[in-house]
Chain A
Amino acid sequence: MNNMSKKELFNFISQVSFMLDDITLFLNTHPDCEDAIEAYNEFKEMRKEAVCEYTEAYGPLNRYDVNVCNYWDWVNKPWPWEGECGC
């Protein structure tokens, strides 16, 4: 994830999260599928690392991960429906 722009990192998180959304649906009906479990673990790590990096550099994606110093920047724009990722 090194050298990714804010926009690239944000898009990467969206993509890897969607992979997890899709794999977890599959796993719900195939809970013992080894290939899917392996893919899940791989994407889970990728997402964790990317979200951590994004949060550190650009601000929180969810309200349990806000790095607060002197301002609660959870309230800051943009919100996702405002049509930009803030890049």
Chain B
Amino acid sequence: MWVYEKRLQCPVNIKETNAKLAQAIISQYGGPDGELGASMRYLSQRYTMPYKEGIATLNDIGTEELGHLEIVCTIVYQLTKDLSMEEIKASGFDKYYVDHTLGLWPQSAGGVPFTASEFQSNGDPITDLYEDMAAEQKARTTYDNILRLCKDYPDVYEPIKFLRAREIVHFQRFGEALRLITDKLDEKNFYAFNPAFDKVAPCVDMNKCNCGK
């Protein structure tokens, strides 16, 4: 069960609107490496994670990502607040505006709607954690790209820098969780079986075994 707290994890106070920047940053809400996908990925994966440290990691990072999509949405909201029709037309924001006005909707910078196809919940904890580490790096790259676009806007730059730093922390924590899991498995073949599904490793050599697998 979740309880909402009326605060942002990192403050956002943008004084100047910038619809062009908003159109790029919205990708971290609903784009392929955005915060919504990140949150849904980890919160979906945690059910079949067989190890307690892994569950806590997925649960708490998945929860923090909900806070991050709130920060991204706040940035987009403040960048597009009170836009005039002239600004909407001149910035190219008209294509978003026509469907959503100034409402927040999860899409990529290119206008592709958010979809669950952007993440996987595979049911094998090793596979899932590798995906999670890749996801954190992809999001970090996206934040780096955004930082290059907003280096002259400190009100935007600072919260984006914060979000980028969290990607690096999360990558580290997922790496540690992966290591804790492999410590519990056969070091000669971590991938012999799925520890969330198989009770024992499926036999490789059928001729020497009568177990029927």
A interface with B by C-beta (< 8 Å): 17, 62-63, 74-77, 79-81
Give Cα distance in the complex from A74 to B59, angstroms: 11
Mask of B29-67 contacts with A, CB within 8 angstroms, 1/0: 000000000000000001100001101100110000000
Give Cα distance in the complex from A1 to B59, angstroms: 30
B53 & A81 in contact (Cβ 8 Å cutoff): no
Q: What is the number of contacts between chain A and chain B, taking CB atoms within 8 Å? A: 16
Mask of B1-24 contacts with A, CB within 8 angstroms, 1/0: 101000000000000000000000
Counting from the closest, the 8 A-B pairs by CB-CB distance are A75-B56, A75-B52, A75-B53, A81-B47, A77-B52, A79-B55, A74-B56, A63-B60
Instruction: Classify the interface of chain B: helix, strand, loop or mixed.
Output: helix
Mask of B105-125 contacts with A, CB within 8 angstroms, 1/0: 000000000000000000000
Give the bracket for the number of chain B residues in contact with chain A: 10 to 19
B interface with A by C-beta (< 8 Å): 1, 3, 46-47, 52-53, 55-56, 59-60
Residues of B within 8 A of A80 (CB): 1
Whole-angstrom distance between the Cβ of A86 and the nearest chain B Cβ: 13
Give Cα distance in the complex from A81 to B56, angstroms: 13
CB<8 Å pairs between A and B, sample of 16 = A17-B1, A62-B3, A63-B60, A74-B56, A75-B52, A75-B53, A75-B55, A75-B56, A76-B52, A77-B52, A77-B55, A79-B46, A79-B55, A79-B59, A80-B1, A81-B47
Residues of A within 8 A of B47 (CB): 81
> B1, B46, B47, B59: which has the most chain A beta carbons within 10 Å?
B1
